[in-house]
Amino acid sequence: MKLRVSSTQTTKQKFSSTLRGWLPILQANLDSLVETLEPFVQENPFISVKSGSETPDKHFEKKSFFSEVAKTSVSDTIEALTLDKKSLYQVLNEQVNPPLFPTEKSQQVAYEIIENINSEGYFEIAALSEIAKKLGIKVEEVEKIRQRFAYLEPLGIGALDLKETFLFQLQDLSLDNELYNMVEMLIINFETIESFSKEPLFHDALAIIKRFHNPPAIDFMEDEKEVIPDIFIYDLEGAIEVRLNDAYYPEVILDTEGLDENHSFVSQKIKDAKDLIDALEMRKATLYKIGLMIVEYQYDFFFGKAIKPMKLKDLADDLGRNPSTISRAIAGKYLSCSRGVIPLKQFFATALEEDISNSAIKEYMIELVKNESKIKPLSDIKLLELIEGKFNIKMVRRTITKYRQQFNIASSSERKKLYTLKF
């Protein structure tokens, strides 16, 4: 067997300062890439964007090799939205303007916050200090801007957790003071909500809470549909070939005919246009390299064997990139091969043991929660015990907590309250 590539591509080792601010281009799904480019087009009178082919390669049957995992994972089932509907991130970016964000600085912070909102609509708390360090400001300043997200659509977006997203949504309601205070009290004391059941306004307040959205980006989470892969893997008589879905990429067209390219405004816009084109090429080169490395690490998989756990950090080190950048590069992206259409994330399960990937651990955890007692949900400690017994391994509780949060599964106490609300 031999590995054959369709073309030679090189990857820049580091983002330029300009491209670092355009990570949404790397993060965007292939079918939402044109919409992601739209803000750049609006700011540059000399460029236009031509959509790529709307008929992706039909060489492979559009089946999901990991359909069962996709059905249970909130994060992995947030696929491309319909072509006539804006993405969550586009909706948020369009709202970053006065009066909520009146200064360039406040807008810059807001854009950074949006980049760290996950697909369920929650803000990653660890990013507060990262954003502050990156922009050279205090954490308190970042948090002050984040609090303004309470006034953005969808309601509750940018909250840290269930309680805060409900509090954000509460601010949008016009209620009399007594009812407002009761709803707020129930949210804040969600763990002991039953203790307020005899309060006069309890049922009215509970009815309002039931109308709140959770997760806040739920309206952007659609059922599975046919997805557009970024990468194609072909087996051509024993030789594996890696190709990008080039036909689907948009084309940036630069038109400067009749203009004085030495004029400062024109020359700057030309530079911006070339940077945008470079950003698209960098996106291609990064994903192409990822495809090559997947084939290198997972060669046997493409001939019928199981996936071997890969470390995201190893790939990041090899590409000379930050793991968070690679994580964005693979999020919501797919690879098409003879075994189906597979999320790139499935190839990067960190091994807990030599033959046990965290994908198996997560699947088992989800199954446990799915079948748990609605009266006495499983705590993280109990989940840990059951998982250790099942796989004969040693883990720590915080790992279970991390996995649970990745799948937007509430804590045992919160699940108990949610079960109570549901039934």
What is the tens place of the pLDDT at every residue in 340-391? 888 887 777 544 444 455 667 888 898 899 999 988 899 888 998 898 888 7
pLDDT value at residue 310? 73
**How would residue 82 be classed by pLDDT, with cut points 50, 70 and 90?**
very low
Residue 50 counted as domain residue: yes
Which is higher by pLDDT, 409 or 345? Answer: 409
How far is it, in rounded angstroms, from Cα 294 to Cα 299? 8
**How would residue 303 be classed by pLDDT, with cut points 50, 70 and 90?**
confident
Is-contact 160 125, C-beta < 8 A?
A: yes
Residue 79 counted as domain residue: no
Residue 44 sits in the same domain as residue 91: no
Residue 134 sits in the same domain as residue 151: yes
pLDDT digits (tens, 9 = 90+) for 113-140: 998 898 789 998 888 998 999 899 999 9
CATH number of the domain where residue 112 is located: 1.10.10
| Domain with 365 in it | 352-422
pLDDT value at residue 146? 96
Is-contact 358 403, C-beta < 8 A?
A: yes
Helices (H), 298-337: 312-319, 323-330
Beta-bridge partner residues of 243: 232
Q: Is the pTM of this model over 0.85?
A: no
Checking DSSP bridges between strand 351-353 and strand 356-357, what pairing results, if any?
antiparallel
pLDDT value at residue 358? 65
Closest by Cα among 73, 79, 30, 21 to 51 = 30
pLDDT value at residue 356? 55
236 φ, ψ (degrees, to nearest 5) = -110, 90
What total number of domains does the chain contain?
Answer: 4
Residue 338 sits in the same domain as residue 232: yes
Supply 371's token pair. 């079948």
Residue 193 sits in the same domain as residue 255: no
277 φ, ψ (degrees, to nearest 5) = -65, -40
Q: Is 329 a residue whose pLDDT tops 70?
A: yes
Among 219, 240, 265, the domain boundary falls at 219
Residue 152 sits in the same domain as residue 113: yes
Residue 118 sits in the same domain as residue 41: no
How far is it, in rounded angstroms, from Cα 319 to Cα 26? 15
**How would residue 242 be classed by pLDDT, with cut points 50, 70 and 90?**
very high
End-to-end C-alpha distance for the chain, whole angstroms: 58
Residue 204 sits in the same domain as residue 239: no
Q: Residue 250, preceding bond cis, omega within 30 degrees?
A: no
Residue 78 counted as domain residue: no
- Per-residue HEC secondary structure of 275-289 comes to HHHHHHHHHHHHHHH
Residue 340 sits in the same domain as residue 382: no
Name the region of 340 (left: φ>0; alpha: ψ -120 to 50; beta: rest): left
Residue 95 sits in the same domain as residue 148: yes
Residue 261 sits in the same domain as residue 191: no
pLDDT digits (tens, 9 = 90+) for 138-197: 999 999 999 999 999 999 999 998 899 999 999 888 889 999 999 999 999 987 888 888
Residue 211 sits in the same domain as residue 228: no
Question: What SS3 state is found at 186?
Answer: helix
